[in-house]
A and B are shown apart, each in its own frame.
Chain A
């Protein structure tokens, strides 16, 4: 009969309180880590950045001064080239998934492959670009680096394009089709315009993702201490420069690696926050 007595709530309430405390402290830990990292990057990076850093070529270890303007330019070129390949492919692929592929098996498989490809380690993509371009051309090259980055961008753009086109209300499509427009014009002229901000977000998201990538560039674009002259040569870039400099025994180079880290982090945080802001605008 004892079982029918109401249980005393003390134990349950204590468990609940402990879980709440655990929750709060977990979140605090995450936030502390975030601020710890950004603070270190800011602190150590700002000391390395001056006008020379942004306008000069690297110097050999021991020689003071010098910067990494070539790596900045190289990263910009690689990202741009990758975008030129991946953005149109991704946009058009996204159109197929959103406009023609609601129920189709082919589209389902594409979607599945895109999700899997997004989760594949980026270093594997680097190995693929190495096998595809570096080995046959017998040379590390900007092309191989850009290819690797484009492969990483492609599924991101495809999937966000699909999601953004889906958000465009069907009534808009129907209204345009009722005017006698062919489907392709409806998509390109009406649906695309409606989803403009969203599509831009997808592209920015993909750019933010690849501009911090190091692993796929390590053995495709490699790195170089000179200006990027040709795409068929090793290409200087910020992230691999960070890796090389950080692993070097010279304090001056390590400090420069922090400077480059600051540039990358600030750039990516700005891009990420912009996309979040754009998305929120959209939802409104």
Chain B
């Protein structure tokens, strides 16, 4: 509300009644300020009322915009303050212990953190090559009409709500995994400790694969922008020297837009880390760490989704909120890296060339 005080006096002259109502609800101090100012001050303001009205307007809009960073801070503070009992009770041990037992009030986050990381890694390993390839198709290979259709369809993947992925994952994809994919993987790679145990369909691997479909459109959209923003003249020089499409992409486009592409990966990473409903349906929900990707596990988000509404003891709730705090901090850091990368890219490209 910079410069708000002077502006309030000027309001009666320059703002419509609707504006007054809006701003009054914004600022309860409004009436007092108006009453407190004398006629002389009011006259002085009348002279440059146009600018005063704008000051108020600017202040109000700034106040609205500032709610967003304030919300961020409030979320962090709320999570932290609810986490304190857990941190006091278990200390660092909370992050290392695998035990999660609401009955005996023993809580440890290791299995949830492990599951979150593993499912995210699987998702990224699958989604990155797929989305780069699709972006390449959309920008370089497909004719414009086809490219638009395919692009829209891929973007629609992002519009499907997470719970629908969950329904599909649990009732359709998990049975498909257990009857078709997992036996196949077991036959070829069954000697690895990663693929032990019965192929149940539910588990970390299935969760990771579904996550990869969910983050793919996000990575693809930004990578496509990056590919498109590479100046045609640079690409054409390479083509002119006889390079193939792949060589142009690999040696010119990707190095040129590397910052943006890394930003896109981090954006997808942030999505995958915090994705809740789809994972909750298919991950199997077990607080055990297992080397096998076929085994059920849990992630931070799925644990919150499953247990929060039932938790009553304060230590239980506090432990769940601490899990949330861990997720908040991780995704916050990922987002910050992502935003810095994307910002750098856009800035570099709007100035240079």
Contacts and interface: CB of A to CB of B under 8 A. Distances in A.
Contact of B154 (A30, A106, A122, A131): A30
A20 B163 contact: no
A272 to B, nearest CB: 4
A96 B65 contact: yes
B95 to A, nearest CB: 18
Contacts of B72: 113, 116-117
Interface in B300-345: 301, 304-305, 308-309, 320-321, 324, 327-328, 331-332, 334-336, 338-339
Interface string A207-224: 010001111001100100
B161 to A, nearest CB: 3
A175 B170 CA distance: 58
A24 interface: yes
A149 to B, nearest CB: 13
Interface stretch (B99-107, B132-140, B200-208): B132-140
B338 A31 contact: no
Interface stretch (B186-194, B265-273, B289-297): B265-273
Nearest to A26: B133
B41 interface: no
Interface residues of B, number: 90
Nearest to B247: A12
A208 to B, nearest CB: 7
A170 interface: no
A13 B301 contact: no
Contacts, number: 267
Contacts of A15: 244, 246
B8 to A, nearest CB: 14
B286 interface: no
Contact of A37 (B138, B160, B170, B336): B160
Nearest to A125: B75
B62 A120 contact: no
B134 A30 contact: yes
A19 B61 contact: no
Main secondary structure of the interface of B (DSSP, over half): helix
Contacts of B94: none
A187 B150 contact: no
A93 B68 contact: yes
B216 interface: yes
A100 B54 CA distance: 10
A27 B68 CA distance: 37
A49 to B, nearest CB: 15
Nearest to A13: B244
A174 interface: no
Contacts of B156: 34, 269, 272
A197 interface: no
B244 A214 contact: no
A101 B65 contact: yes
Interface in B7-63: 14-15, 19, 50-51, 53-54, 56-58, 60-63
Interface string A16-38: 10011011101101110110111
Contacts of B133: 19, 22-23, 26-27
Interface stretch (A53-61, A66-74, A225-233, A239-247): A239-247
A127 interface: yes
Residue among A22, A23, A222, A258 with the highest chain B CB neighbour number at 10 A: A23
B123 to A, nearest CB: 14
A113 B339 CA distance: 10
B64 A215 contact: no
B247 A27 contact: no
A151 B71 contact: yes
A89 interface: yes
A110 B69 contact: yes
Interface residues on A, range: 35 or more
Interface in A135-162: 140, 151, 154-155, 158
Interface in A31-53: 31, 33-34, 36-38, 40-41, 44
Contacts of B353: none
Nearest to B60: A92
Given A127-B321, A215-B305, A12 B136 contact: no
B6 to A, nearest CB: 15
Contact of B328 (A33, A120, A154): A120
Contact of B65 (A93, A121, A122): A93
B229 interface: no
A127 B157 CA distance: 27
Given A26-B137, A92-B64, 20 more contacts: A16-B244, A19-B136, A20-B245, A23-B137, A26-B134, A31-B150, A34-B153, A94-B65, A107-B65, A115-B339, A119-B335, A120-B328, A122-B274, A123-B276, A124-B79, A151-B71, A154-B71, A212-B162, A265-B164, A276-B152
Interface of A: 12-13, 15-16, 19-20, 22-24, 26-27, 29-31, 33-34, 36-38, 40-41, 44, 88-97, 99-101, 106-107, 109-110, 112-117, 119-128, 130-132, 140, 151, 154-155, 158, 180, 182-184, 187, 208, 212-215, 218-219, 222, 239, 242-243, 246, 254, 257-258, 261, 264-265, 268-269, 272, 276
The 5 residue pairs across chains A and B that have the minimum distance between CB atoms: A121-B274, A212-B161, A184-B57, A96-B61, A92-B64
Interface of B: 14-15, 19, 50-51, 53-54, 56-58, 60-69, 71-72, 74-75, 78-79, 82, 129-131, 133-134, 136-138, 141, 150, 152-154, 156-157, 159-168, 170-172, 213, 216-217, 244-247, 249, 267, 270-271, 273-277, 280-281, 301, 304-305, 308-309, 320-321, 324, 327-328, 331-332, 334-336, 338-339
19 contacts: A19-B136, A24-B141, A34-B154, A37-B160, A37-B165, A40-B168, A89-B67, A107-B65, A124-B75, A182-B51, A183-B53, A184-B53, A184-B54, A214-B162, A214-B277, A215-B277, A215-B305, A254-B171, A272-B159
